[in-house]
Amino acid sequence: MSKVKFYRGQQLPLEMHKVRIIQKLTLLPIEQRREALETAGFNTFLLQNADVFLDMLTDSGVNAMSQDQQAAMLMADDAYAGSATYTRLHDKLVEIFGMEYFLPAHQGRAAENIISQTMIRPGTLIPMNYHFTTTKQHITVNGGEVVELIRPEGLEVTSDHPFKGNFDVEALRDLIAERGAEAISHVRMEAGTNLIGGQPFSLENLREVSETCREHSLPLVLDASLLADNLHFIKTREEACKDMSIREITRAMADLVDVLYFSARKLGFGRGGGICIRDEETYKKMRGYVPMFEGFLTYGGMSVREMEAITVGLDETMDEDMINQGPQFIEFMVSELDRRNIPVITPAGGLGAHVDAMRFVDHIPQEQYPAGALAAALYLVSGVRGMERGTMSEQRDAEGNEPLADMELVRLAMPRRVFTLSQVNYVIDRLDWLYQNRRMIGGMEWEEEPEILRFFYGRMRPKQDWVTPLMAKFREDFGDSL
């Protein structure tokens, strides 16, 4: 928690910033939320933001900017080629990560496209701690195969393990021994491992992965999109790093990898992305894809204004007081939910609070999308928009079989520096009510199921009408309250 102690010993996060610009919110009555939900095919991705009270869908591109970021945006250099804005971003990345080459991309998945096209040999494996949706898609379309080598504790929903994102290095060694290093294109490590609840890995674990990769001349790629949270956790949970500065930890991590890419919609509090590369040969291979898919080499599809904001945002990421707000709010939310026996991933990670739908609505079979149903029910009773991270977010295999996800989660993302503690308390309150009435929530089925990344724009419907009785119970308990 915060370094400031409260007189009565409460564990409360304390912001080291103040709010200077606000956006008005509306909370629709439940009857209108039902209409909005039906229009959105029960998929929270398809809700209009005007119908949402607290948008906890994601922390992507929705983090609050600082006044220094806003000021920098006015100084952007619009030049198509050779923009001074690019030079400032490039120099900041070299200063922080110490890798010589940088390629800009319009967002994280665009970086994944370039990395996958250049680094994957068809028919090879890409071992990683855990996949991310867009990453897996890019790897698969380029003929690679994702091999998840997360340590077993990573998939335990409740745990007190500080580094659930750790790579199973033993399993990596076994895989190399069994299949040979040539069967592997590269190894990928994801910071703040998204799909298992924003869980970090330790610096020690990254070092072991890196040593194994270097022994076998395998390139190691770091997805640094959620690096800020991972840095905070290394600093606060890894004994050997407690006296290191955030900047020192960052450099120690970067020194262990060959390629580092990021979504600047997360890292750097802006909107964009990019790839930092250590060696010239790899850089040259990747370079051609930037003008082809993104834009000229000195903007790569990003707005120069955003690039200026990212440059300042990256510098702020090196400041503990700037990156601890998210994890501390999440920790508060997770411990309050846990105290009310609401099933939630522990320990608290980065990114957001992750409610365990498998236990919350344990009467809904996985084939009926418990996490999707819970996300829809939560919007109905609160106007809070979360995201399904479970079987809906998986993809059918070539035979059309549906893999059931390892976890069924509703992610309640905590955009950085955006919400107040009373808003977080409102979410906790409505989740508490919903948990007491959980048996009223039913399953869902597809109304329209797209082939690729179906969770983004697929439409669902309740298997039977559980919405009407749930609404009636809400009215009974809350009267005419919103």
Q: By CB under 6 A, name the binding residues for ligand F0G.
A: 58, 60, 107-109, 132, 134-135, 190, 194, 223, 225-226, 263, 265, 273
Residue 76 beta carbon to ligand F0G: minimum distance, rounded to whole angstroms: 20
- Nearest-Å Rg of the Cα atoms of the chain is 22
Q: Which is nearer to ligand F0G, 107 or 116 (CB)?
A: 107
The verdict on whether 136 is a catalytic residue reads no
Q: Is 389 among the residues known to form the active site?
A: yes
455 catalytically annotated: yes
Whether 3 is catalytic is: no
250 a catalytic residue: no
Residue 471 CB, nearest approach to ligand F0G (Å): 29
Catalytic residue, candidates 266, 271, 438, 454: 266
- How many other CB atoms are found less than 10 A from the CB of residue 341? 10
CB-facing half-sphere around the CA of 336: CA atoms within 13 A: 22
The widest CA-to-CA distance across the chain, in whole angstroms, is 67
**Minimum CB distance to ligand F0G, residue 79 (Å):** 24
* Active-site choice (26, 39, 68, 80): 80
Q: Running DSSP on this structure, what letter comes out for residue 80?
A: S
User: Is 132 one of the catalytic residues?
Assistant: yes
Sequence-separated (6 or more) residues with CB below 8 Å from residue 331: 1, 13, 348
- Dihedral, 33, 35, 38, 44 alpha carbons, nearest 10: -30
CA end-to-end distance (rounded Å), the chain: 32
Name the residue among 130, 56, 150 with its Cα closest to residue 378.
Answer: 56
Q: Specify the residue, 109 or 417, whose C-beta has the smaller distance to ligand F0G.
A: 109
In angstroms, what is the minimal distance from the CB of 400 to ligand F0G? 26
Query: Are the beta carbons of 169 and 206 closer than 8 angstroms?
Result: no
C-alpha–C-alpha distance, residues 219 and 282, integer Å:
10
Q: Tell me if the bond preceding 347 is cis, omega within 30° of 0.
A: yes
State the minimum distance, in angstroms, from the CB of residue 265 to ligand F0G.
4
CB atoms within 10 A of CB 231: 29
Distance of closest approach, residue 387 Cβ to ligand F0G, in angstroms: 7
| Helices vs. strands in the chain: H and E counts, helices first | 19, 14
Active site residue 360: no
Q: Please state the closest distance from residue 481 (CB atom) to ligand F0G, in A.
A: 31
Sequence-ordered list of residues with C-beta below 8 angstroms from that of 406, at least 6 positions apart, any chain: 155, 196
User: Nearer to ligand F0G by C-beta: 407 or 441?
Assistant: 407
At 412 the three-state DSSP class reads strand
Q: Which residue has the tokens 């100084």?
A: 75
Catalytic residue among 235, 389, 416, 417: 389
Which of 46/244 has CB closer to ligand F0G?
46
The SS3 call for residue 358 is helix
Catalytic residue among 51, 55, 59, 223: 223
User: Taken in order 383, 384, 389, 395, is the CA torsion positive or negative?
Assistant: positive
What pairing do the DSSP bridges indicate for beta strands 459-462 and 444-448? antiparallel
CB closer to ligand F0G, 55 vs 238: 55
- Contact status, residue 265 vs residue 107, Cβ threshold 8 Å: yes
Q: Name the residue with the smallest CB distance to ligand F0G.
A: 108
Nearest to ligand F0G of 190, 308 (CB atom): 190
**C-beta closer to ligand F0G: residue 265 or 278:** 265
Residues annotated as part of the active site = 80, 132-133, 223, 266, 389, 455
